[in-house]
Amino acid sequence: MSRPEEAPTPLPVIEEFEAAGALVGILIGSESDRERMDPAIEELNDRGISYELNVLSAHRDPRGVAEYASTAALRGVRVIIAGAGMAAALPGTAAAYTDLPVIGVPLTSSKSALGGLDAILAIVQMPPGVPVACVSLDGARNAAILASKILAQGGGYPGTPGRPLTQL
Ligand code: RP5
């Protein structure tokens, strides 16, 4: 007599993990950068994308940057936007501590050398293996748009598919 077929053990239902935190983590290297990063905040607000903003300097508080970046994904952040001027190490330092995509915004400041080329090179010239996307000088709005496009790849957050390019 053949054994009755055993019913397969149902797999446990795993509720999809959704952290309550912000989707975009904005970092700025100094309070003096805040105004130039405002267009990113406006753009994210327009798109209904949650964000958090922290002032953390790669040079003045490297441990703070490391702690922030290494815990961001666990808190629900999906993209980091990091704006800094001068020797703008902030985006690269954040990228060193997270697998999240990092968008760097080179910023002008009253202390910029070469009109901001200092920050552009500091962000663009990342070594192989630690990529950072770089938008234009003072290109905070573009950073937010790019962040929304990245988020849209993961499941339809407001920003790109479904929203005509002309509205970007
Ligand atoms: C950078 O140095 C900051 O991102 C800022 O753009 C620049 C000047 O900073 P403060 O001296 O105004 O704080 O690290």
Rounded-to-integer distance, Cα 64 and Cα 56, Å: 7
List phi, psi (to 5°) of 45. -60, -45
Read off the pTM: 0.84
Interval between CA 59 and ligand 1 midpoint (Å): 10
Quick one: which atom of ligand 1 is closest to the CA of 58? 14
Q: How many CB atoms lie within 10 A of CB 75?
A: 13
pLDDT of residue 79: 98
Interval between CA 60 and ligand 1 midpoint (Å): 10
Query: In the structure, which protein residues have their CB atom closer than 6 angstroms to any atom of ligand 1?
Result: 29-30, 32-33, 57, 84-86, 107, 109, 111
List phi, psi (to 5°) of 104. -95, 140
Interval between CA 116 and ligand 1 midpoint (Å): 12
Q: What is the pLDDT of residues 4-48, one digit of tens each?
A: 566 666 554 444 444 568 999 999 999 999 999 999 999 999 999
Rounded-to-integer distance, Cα 5 and Cα 109, Å: 73
- 140: three-class secondary structure by DSSP: helix
In contact, 37 and 26? CB cutoff 8 Å: yes
pLDDT of residue 37: 98
Rounded-to-integer distance, Cα 88 and Cα 153, Å: 28
